[in-house]
Amino acid sequence: MLAACTAMIMMMIMMMSLDAEGRKAKKVKYDFKYDYVSWFHEGMATVGISASTSAARAADKVAGAITLSSGSTLLFAKYGAIDSSGRERIPLKYQWVGRFYGGIAPVALNGKWGYADTDGNELTPIKYDYVSPAFIDGFAPVGIGGKFGLVNARGEETLPVRYDDVTVFSECMAAVRVGDKWGYADTSGREVIPAKYEIPMLNYFVKKLIAHAAGNSAVNLEEMKNIMFSAFSGGVAAVCLNGKWGYIDREDKMVVPLKYDKVRKFKEGMAAVRIDGRWGFADMTGREAVAAKYTSVEDFSEGMAAVRADRKWGFVDREGNEIVPLQYSEVKPFREGMAAVRLKDSWGFVNAAGAEAIPPAYGGALSFSEGKAAVETGGKWGYIDRTGKEAIAPKYRQACDFSEGMAAVCLNKRWGFIDGSGAEVIPAIYRKSYAENVMFIKPNTVYAGRFACGLAPVWIDSEKKFGFVNKTGEMAIPPRYQAVSNFSNGYAAGAVFRKNIQEVVLELIDTAGRIVYPAVRTDDKNVINTLGWSPQMGLKFLDRMFMYLYVINPAVRTVDEGCSTAGDDVFVRMSGDGGVKSVKFGFFGHYERPDRCKYRPFKSRGKWGFIDGEGNPMTH
C-alpha cells in the first residue's frame, strides 16, 4: 500500500511538471534586483535597493534617517518607483518614496520631504520637515520647523509656511492658527480675517466623540452629531470669541451675533443655536427666527424641524409656528412629506399640514423612502404606501429603508434584499448586513446595508468579514472588513481589527475597492469599544479622526522620537483628555489591498521583484 501511494505521488509531481502539450515545463528563472518592493497602487510601486558599500552607508547615515510607524529606520537604502511595465519612473535616489495618490507621492531626501509625480518630476523643493501623505481637494499641508502652510498640486506654496496650524481650503478659505487664535486666509495667501478667534469646533468635536466612546452619559449624541469644523460652508463659518459662538461671512462681518453658548451648522438656511440652556434657530440674516425656548431641537428637514419641550415633541416651520403640536413621545424627521411619530406605544405619520395622515397603530415605523415606509405589526415588519395601504405584507424580522430600488430585509435571521414589488432579488442568505460587527450586537437594533452607488455591504460567514455586493448579488468588493459604512458620494469606510482586537485600521475605499486615501489605525480602546458597541458611531469617529489628522491639524503629526516622518498610513494614540498623544506615519507594505494589477511582489534568492498569476516575472 505504501509503495502504491508513493508511486501515485511521484506520478502527480511528474504531471505537474509538464505543460499543456505534455512537454516538460521550463523552470522559470527569477533575476530580481530589489531589496524592497511594495504592492502597486495607481499603477506605481515603490522599490528600494540597499547601499552596497561602507562609504555609501556612512553617507546615508550622515544624511539622516527616516523612521516609519513600523519602527524600522530607513538607513543604507535608495528608493524609487516603477510603473506596471517595470520601467523606473522615479530614480532610485530617495530615502523614501510614498504611495501615490492622485498621481503624486511624498519623497524624502537628506532627511527632508517634498513631492514627485509619476514621471519623476519634483513638484516641490525637497525642503520640508513634514508633508501630508495625500492631497485633499488639490491641496496638502506642509511644515518646516513647527510652522505650516499649504501647497497645491503644482507644488506652489499657496499658503506660506508661517502658521502654527492650518486647514485645507473650503470655499477658497483656509483656517489658520497663530498662537492660540484662529483666522482665515484665501488662496492668494492673504490673511483676510485676522487670527483673533478661539479654538474652532473641530477640537470640541473630537473631545466630545472620545467622551461618548468612553461612556460619558452626559454627552448628548443628538447634539454631538451636528458639531462641525469651523470651515466655510455656504459663505459662512462658525467662530468663537470669549466663549460665545456665532457666524461670520467671508469679510468677517457678523451674520449670527456672538452671543450663543453653542451653534450647529446651517441646514436649509437655518442653524440651531443655544442660549441659557434653551434651543432655537437663527437664519442667514442673523434673525432668531425660532425663539430659543426648547429643551432640544433637530435640524430642519423639508422645511420642518422637530422641537421638544416638557418631554413632548412636535414640529415648527421656518417662522417658528408650531405646525405639529408638541404631544408625541418620539418623532423622526420629515421625509417625502411625512414624519413618523409615536403616541404612547403606537407609531403613525403626520403630514406637513400637521394632520395625522396615518393614525398611530404600529409597533414600529421607519421614515418613508421611495414611496414606502417599513412598519411593524404583530412582531413582523412589512411596508405601507403613503395612504397607509399595505404595499408589502409583514413577514420579516427586520426591514430597512428603500434605496436605489432595493431594501434590506431579515428573514429567519438571514439578510437579503427585495425590490419595490416585494420580490426577493438577492436571497436572504447573509447572516449580517451593514455594521453589525463580530464583537457586540445590540439586540432589536436595525443594522442593515443599503444600496448606494450600486453596492451594499454584506457579512460573509466563511470569511467573518464584510464585503460589498452589486444589485445582481455578485460580490463586487471581496470581504475584508469587520465593520463597514454604506457608500456615500462614491466612498465607503471599512474597519479591520488586528492584534486580537487590540488595534483597528480604517480605510477609505472607492466603488472598485481601491484605497483612495492613506489608512488610519489606532490602538485606542475607546475607539475599538465604540466600534463594537455601535459600528456606525465608531466609523463616524474614525472618519472624523481621519479628517482631523489629514485635513485639519497637521501640527500634531510628529513622532515620539522626533524624526521627520511621512508615508502611507498614520498611527494614532489618544491622550486621556481627548487630545492626540502621538501620531506616527509609515507604510503598511503588504497589508493594504493592492491594485487589481496582474503583478504581485515575489521574493527569490534574497531579492524582490514582481510576477504575474502564472509565475512569469515582470520584464521591461
Element (H, E) at 176: strand 173-178
Quick check: 230 pLDDT over 50? yes
* 2-8 mean pLDDT: 48
Element (H, E) at 521: strand 515-522
Residue 607 pLDDT grade (very low, low, confident, very high; cuts 50, 70, 90): confident
**Mapping DSSP to helix (H, G, I), strand (E, B) and coil, where does residue 547 land?**
helix
**Per-residue pLDDT, 273:** 96
Residue 64 pLDDT grade (very low, low, confident, very high; cuts 50, 70, 90): very low
CB 142 within 8 A of CB 128: yes
Distance, CA of 274 to chain centre:
30
Of 425 and 573, the structure prediction assigns the larger pLDDT to 425
Of 99 and 374, the structure prediction assigns the larger pLDDT to 374
CA nearest 591: which of 69, 182, 53, 57?
Answer: 69
pLDDT in tens, 65-106: 444 433 344 444 789 999 988 999 999 999 889 888 889 999
- Helix ranges restricted to H, 385-432: none
pLDDT in tens, 118-170: 999 999 999 998 888 778 778 888 889 889 999 998 999 999 999 988 877 88
**Per-residue pLDDT, 549:** 39
Q: Calculate what percentage of the chain has a pLDDT beyond 90.
A: 40
Of 609 and 62, the structure prediction assigns the larger pLDDT to 609
**Mapping DSSP to helix (H, G, I), strand (E, B) and coil, where does residue 210 land?**
helix
* Range of lowest pLDDT (221-230, 293-302, 355-364, 459-468): 221-230
Of 599 and 423, the structure prediction assigns the larger pLDDT to 423
At residue 585, φ and ψ (nearest 5 deg) are -100, 155
Strands (E), 203-285: 236-241, 244-249, 254-260, 262-263, 270-275, 278-283
Residue 522 pLDDT grade (very low, low, confident, very high; cuts 50, 70, 90): low
Residue 466 pLDDT grade (very low, low, confident, very high; cuts 50, 70, 90): confident
**Per-residue pLDDT, 503:** 66
Residue 212 pLDDT grade (very low, low, confident, very high; cuts 50, 70, 90): very low
* Cell of residue 589, nine digits: 507594505
CA gap 392, 372 in Å, rounded: 9
* Cell of residue 21, nine digits: 502539450
Radius of gyration of the chain (CA): 28
Distance, CA of 524 to chain centre:
17
CA nearest 184: which of 226, 125, 239?
Answer: 239
Quick check: 497 pLDDT over 50? yes
First-to-final CA distance of the chain: 51
**Per-residue pLDDT, 480:** 85
CA nearest 282: which of 247, 314, 253, 230?
Answer: 247
**Per-residue pLDDT, 392:** 97
Residue 185, Cβ density class (10 Å: 0-12 exposed, 13-18 middle, ≥19 buried): buried
At residue 346, φ and ψ (nearest 5 deg) are -120, 140
CA nearest 416: which of 451, 445, 385?
Answer: 451
**Per-residue pLDDT, 68:** 42
Quick check: 248 pLDDT over 80? yes
Residue 525 pLDDT grade (very low, low, confident, very high; cuts 50, 70, 90): low
pLDDT in tens, 403-454: 999 999 988 888 899 999 999 999 888 865 443 333 322 323 334 478 989 9
Distances (CA, A) of 268 to 222, 232, 233, 272, 341: 18, 16, 12, 11, 22
- Helix ranges restricted to H, 438-524: none
* Range of lowest pLDDT (41-55, 56-70, 256-270, 463-477): 56-70
* 348-375 mean pLDDT: 96
Place of cell 510607524: 69
State the sign of the Cα–Cα–Cα–Cα dihedral 225, 231, 237, 239.
positive
**Per-residue pLDDT, 104:** 92
Quick check: 250 pLDDT over 70? yes
**Per-residue pLDDT, 28:** 56
* 384-398 mean pLDDT: 95
Residue 204 pLDDT grade (very low, low, confident, very high; cuts 50, 70, 90): very low
CA nearest 277: which of 264, 260, 265, 289?
Answer: 260
Q: Calculate what percentage of the chain has a pLDDT beyond 70.
A: 68
Quick check: 277 pLDDT over 90? yes
Quick check: 214 pLDDT over 70? no
Greatest alpha-carbon pair distance for the chain in Å reads 94
Q: What is the pLDDT of the chain when averaged over all its residues? A: 75
* 562-585 mean pLDDT: 35
CB 348 within 8 A of CB 356: yes
Of 76 and 358, the structure prediction assigns the larger pLDDT to 358
Residue 351 pLDDT grade (very low, low, confident, very high; cuts 50, 70, 90): very high
- Amino acid letter, 85: S
* 553-564 mean pLDDT: 28
CA gap 77, 93 in Å, rounded: 9
